[in-house]
Each structure stands twice: as structure tokens, then as C-alpha cells.
Structure 1
Amino acid sequence: MSNAVVNGLAGAGGGIIAQIITYPLQTVNTRQQTDRIAKKGLISDSNSGRESFSSQSHSNGSDSTLRKILQVIRTEGWGGLYSGLKPSLFGTAASLGIYYYFYQLFKNKAETLAIARKKKGLGDGTAGIFSWILVAAIAGSLNVLMTIPIWVLVTRMQTHTQAEMKIIEGKKEAILRESAASATSPTNLMDVSKLNSIKPRPYGTVQAIREVYSEAGIKGFWKGVVPALVMVCNPSIQFMIYESLLKHLRAKRVARKQNSKGVSALEVFLVGALAKLGATVTTYPLLVVKSRLQAKQEIGGGNISLRYTGTLDAFVKMLRYEGLFSFYKGMSTKIVQSVLATSILFMVKEELVKTFLILADKTPKVISYRFK
């Protein structure tokens, strides 16, 4: 079995474990990202197309992570924290399997080229930082193009209740406005009471597929592909930091005449955490835009200022109607979730790679050579 296949399988296994452990934080984070609260100022009405003043402020959408988790449990039960888990696990396995397979494949080629260059008197025989960036970018782009339909469905399932509640709130507001202008308020108030008793309908993968297709056809499954492709720089930055730190650690071990293969699971955990932290802070605004494009547009309510036709439209409207703050909604939750998930992923992946090789009767010398 080639080391590219071994890394693909190990990456998929590590990703599944990390996903299960951190999924509630991911669900909450997606909802925080897709909350659309216009700042005090102008908003656009979908019926008249005219702009008017809104009294809403950022504080309405600034729920803490813990408060958001408790809110989901109270209104939807524990199952609400795991909405979309099944397709997410499939997507995680597919994404990481594809990513690590191509990453290792191109990494091997980069290392072979570096050795060939050394023989010609060029370089030290190791791939440089630019090589890691390029390798991660190619693997990431292939992964995005092949798996983004899965993540569109996951986002829909994670934010379904949020969208349904927004629709119900819109109906209530319409009824109350009508009752204030008519003499039939008792009947209208009864209608509001009925709306209060409505619970979001069951929503699974099949329903999500039908909804996305009915809204935009096949192209709907690739919503958010532009920011997703741009976000390929996230794992590029992440793996640049990761590989550079591991290379530094191993070089120090060699210099001190210590065992060069002995990077511990704890060290991998910490290196993975630092790598993901740097990448997340840099690229988070793109993640928010991607989530908003993939979520049901009803989350924006009746205001066209909070609905988007594409990536550029989302950037312009978010900046104009919600301010710079909107690009960083839920970032603290994402940092905790992504750093924890990535650290677990790297730690489990490295241990699985070692296990695969031991089961394949590989010697420690070969392990050190192939994965150092």
C-alpha cells in the first residue's frame, strides 16, 4: 500500500473522530455565522425595494457560544446540536481522504524534485515553504471541487431550524401589522397563537437535496464555491506552519543527536493547534461568506439587504448593512472548534499512519525515511 493511500485512510479516520467530538461547536458556529442582524441604519424591504431605518443592533446577534448551545438544547433538544451529522461525517471522510491522498502524492513529488535538485548542487535536498504552499493549494482545490455539494447540504441541515423560525417570525410580524390596521385583531391574534405552536418540520438529507435543487438546480450544489476555493489558502497556511514546525523539531533532534523519528503525539497536537489557529484567523471572513451563501436565504427575513445573489453581493451587503463585525461572527467558537478538531485530527492521523505501517511489517527505518 502506497504512503499516499495510507495517509488518505489515516486522514479520513482522524477526521471522523475529530468531527464527532467537536460537531456541536460546528453547528453552533454555522448558526452564528449565518445570523443576519442589520446594524442601526438602512435596510431594504423586499416588497417595496425601498430602504428604511432599522433599530436592530449587533447585540441581538452576539450570543455567546454557551448561551447558543443552551438555546439549541432548550428549543430542539440534544439532537439539534447534531443536525446534519451523517452527511457531515461522510463529507469529512471524503474530504480528508481526498485531501490527504493528493497532498501526500504531490508532497512525494516535491520531495523527489528537491533531492534531484540537491544532486545537481541546488538546495539542501528538502522541499521549501513555497513547495508546501503549492502542494496544499492543489490538494485543497481538488478537494473543494469534488466535495462542496456535501457541505452545502450540511450547512442547510445545520441552519434549517434557524431559517424556519425566521419564516415564522416574518408571518407573525405581518399578522400583527395587519391587526394593528384592522378591526379583526382577535382573529389575527389567534393566528399568531397558532404560529407560536408550530414546530420546524423534520428535515433530512433527502429534503435538503430537493430544496437545493428546486431553488437553483444542479448549480445550487456548488454555492459558495468561489470563497471555498479562495479558502484553499487556509490549509496552505496551516500546512506550511505545520510542516515547518515539524521540520524544525526534527532538525533540533538531529542536531542534539536525539532520535529523529520521535515526534510525540503531544508535540503533534500542539503543532497542529498552532498551525490551525494562524490559518483560521487569517481566512475567517471567507468562511462566513461561504456559510451565508450556502444557507437558506430565508434566514435574511424579508429584507433584500440580508439576501445575497453571489459572493461579491454578499461582501458588499454585509459590509454596508451589518458592518465589518459581521465578517467575524462566531470566530471565537470557530477557533476553539477548529483548533481542537485539527489537533485531534493530526494526532490521530499520525498514530494511524504508524499503526498501518506496523501492520504492514514496515521497519522503523522505513517509517523514519518516508514520513520525516
Structure 2
Amino acid sequence: MSDALINGLAGAGGGIIAQLITYPLQTVNTRQQTDRDPKKEKKKAGTVEQMYQVVQHEGWGRLYGGLTPSLVGTACSQGVYYYFYQIFRSKAEATALRRKKEGAGDGSVGMLSSLMVAAMSGCVNVLLTNPIWVVVTRMQTHTKKSPSNKVEPIVGGNEPPPFGTSNAVQEVFDEAGVWGFWKGVFPTLVMVSNPSIQFMLYETLLKNLKQRRALSNSNKGVTALEVFLLGALAKLGATVVTYPLLVVKSRLQAKQVIGVDKKHQYKGTLDAILKMIRYEGFHGFYKGMSTKIVQSVLAAAVLFMVKEELVNGARWLLLKEAAKSKLS
């Protein structure tokens, strides 16, 4: 099994576990990002209160709306990302070693090269998986509406009308055809800088930690807790920088309500940005940011920790099998 495949499968496994743990926060955050009602701004509810409101009015299941396609999307995204990341990373490392032999550089992959590797991996991932995330956004933002267009509380334990993956797919197709599944792809491609910054920070922090250990002649390896903390710090930095693009992407991928004020309808990325600046101000680009920071930092930390453990476990098993083969 190749190192790229091991990293791809480990990334998919880590992503699924992180998604299961943090999904309710993700659902609430998507609703915060796509909320365009100025009246709600005046009586803004906290994350926990909003989660309670979703449960009270729509049932527990709505906190996990779109979970199935989201898990599929997470597995695909992480698998694709880590697979191509490892391939591009290996080529970058080979180039660095070749340059060292030629008398240029120290043989290590620099910060700029790490950024380029992460960016290329992210672009491939976005182009292949964007349709899945459009469907997930539709399912996360779908609410039980009354004829007056108000969310009604659940009475007697009745669940909201079913709105599954097939419903979301049909809704997107009816609204914009096949190209509707690539809504928000431009800001998402620009947002490739998020994992690029994240992995650049993570690998820089990890490299510095290992160098300090080497200088102090310590044989202690990097622990799972340290990987967790490094992953959290890296994701925090990346999220703060790129959050406005995430809000624009969610606005574009959410259902465009026909017959309402045109300031709430977006023709494209630039139109969305201009209307948000005009009608909501710059603070509109940071709606739900506190929720996102908690969700994304926790998810990234869990992902890095689980992925590293899975990679180490897989390599250990392969070495064990190789040793058995030699003995036999």
C-alpha cells in the first residue's frame, strides 16, 4: 500500500470522526451564515440557544440534517485531499533533495512550497466534491415552514416533512440545472487558501517542535495531544483569515427564495459581496464566526490526531507483515 493511499484513507477516517462529533455546530453555523433577516440581528441568540431552538421547533433530527451526504463528502474530500497532498508533497520533497545535491537549499520543503502543495491539492478536491457540499448546505438550511413562512414548533412529537438527499438534489437541479451543483465554486476555490494556510502553519509548528526536540537530544516523539493542539492552532489561524469567503459560499449555495426582496438574491460571487456590503455592512461577512471557530478548530484538532494515529498504525501493521514475510 502506497504512502499516499495510507494518508488518503487515514484522512477520510479522521474526517468522518471529526464530522460526527461537531456536526450540530456545523448545522447551526450554516444557518447563521445564511440568515438575512435584519430583525434577528437585534435579538441575536448564542450558539447553544440556537441549537435549543432548532430542537424545540424542528426536532433533534434537524441538527443532523444532511449528515449522510456530509459524511460522504467528508470522506471524499479528506481522502482526495490527503491522497493528492501526499503525491504533490513527495514530488516537492524530491525536488528539494535534488536542489540540495546541486548546492541549493537544505533539502527540506520550504514554507512557499508547502503552501503550493496544499493549494493544488485543495483545487482538485474542490472541483471534484463541490456538488456534495451544495446538497449538504441545502439540507442544513432547510426548515419546516408554515404557509405564513414562519417556522412552527413541533407539537405532539411530529417530525418535519422529510427532506432527504434526493429532495435537495432535485431542488438544486430545478433551480439552476447541472451548473447549480457548482454554485459557490469560485469563493470555494479561493478558500483553498484556508487548508493551505492551515497545513503550512501545522507543518511549520510540527517541524519547529521536532527541531527543538532534536536540539535538546530528546528521544521523545510527538504525542497525540501535541498533534491535537498544533492542529487546533493551525486551524484557528486559517479560519480567522478566510471566514468571509465561507459566508459568501454558503449564501450562494443556500436556496434562493423567489419573490422576496432582491437584496437577498444573488446572481454570483461579486453580486453577493456587493449586496452584503451595501445592506449588511462588513460585519455581515463574520456572522456565526465564533461558532465556526469552535467547530472548525475542534474538528481539525480531532482530524489531525486521528489521522496521525491511523497512519502510524497502518505503517506499523505493514512493517509487521513485511517482517513476517521475510521470516517465512
Q: Same fold (TM over 0.5)?
A: yes
Partner of 2:231: 272
Preserved CA contact (<8 Å) 2:131 2:182: yes
Does structure 1 conserve the Cα–Cα contact (< 8 Å) formed by 2:58 and 2:159?
Answer: no
Indicate which of 97, 106, 114 corresponds to 1:115.
97
Aligned residues: 316
Stretches of structure 2 lacking an aligned partner (at least 5 in a row): 153-157, 322-328
Provide the rounded CA distance (Å) in 2 between the counterparts of 1:362 and 1:149.
40
Aligned to 2:73: 91
The CA distance in 2 between the partners of 1:257 and 1:345, in whole Å, is 29
1:318 pairs with one of 276, 298, 302: 276
C-alpha distance in structure 1 between counterparts of 2:215 and 2:147, whole Å: 66
Letter in structure 1 aligned against 2:281: G
Aligned mate of 2:308, from 336, 347, 350: 350
The AA in structure 2 aligned to 1:338 is: S
Distance between the aligned counterparts of 1:200 and 1:12, measured in 2?
31
- Which string of whole-angstrom CA distances, capped at 9 and with x for unpartnered residues, describes residues 149-187 of structure 1? 0000000000011xx53x744599xxxxxxxxxxxxxxx
CA contact (8 A) 1:319 1:326 kept: yes
Alignment of 1:284 with 2:243, yes or no, is: yes
Q: Which residue of 1 aligns with 2:298?
A: 340
Shift of 1:22: 0.4
| Structure number with bigger Rg | 1
> Aligned partners of 2:188, 2:269: CA distance in 1, in Å?
10
Q: Establish whether residue 159 from structure 1 lines up as the match of residue 141 from structure 2.
A: yes
Answer yes or no: is 1:130 the counterpart of 2:104.
Answer: no
Distance 1:147 1:31 in 2: 21
Q: Distance in 2 between matches of 1:362 and 1:59?
A: 61
Alignment of 1:1-372 (within 5 A): 1-38=1-38, 56=39, 58-60=41-43, 62-161=44-143, 165=145, 168-170=147-149, 200-259=160-219, 262-298=221-257, 302-361=260-319
| Secondary structure of residue in 2 paired with 1:114 | helix
Within 2, Cα distance between the matches of 1:201 and 1:251?
A: 56
* TM-score scaled by length of structure 1: 0.82
Give distance in 1, aligned partners of 2:176 and 2:147: 23
The AA in structure 1 aligned to 2:239 is T
Q: Is the 8 A contact 2:58 2:160 kept in 1?
A: no
Q: Which aligned runs of 4 or more in structure 1 are off by greater than 3 angstroms? A: 167-172
Q: 1:325 to 1:357 in 2, by over 3 A?
A: same
CA distance in 2, matches of 1:258, 1:279: 31
- Tell me, in whole angstroms, the C-alpha distance in 1 between the residues paired with 2:160 and 2:54: 13
Q: CA deviation at 1:37?
A: 2.3
Between the two proteins, what is the percent identity of the paired residues? 63
> Aligned partners of 2:320 and 2:7: how far apart in 1?
15
Compute the RMSD of aligned alpha carbons.
1.9
Amino acid at match of 2:247: V
Look up the equivalent residue of 2:299 and give its one-letter code: A
Q: 2:202 corresponds to which letter in structure 1?
A: Y
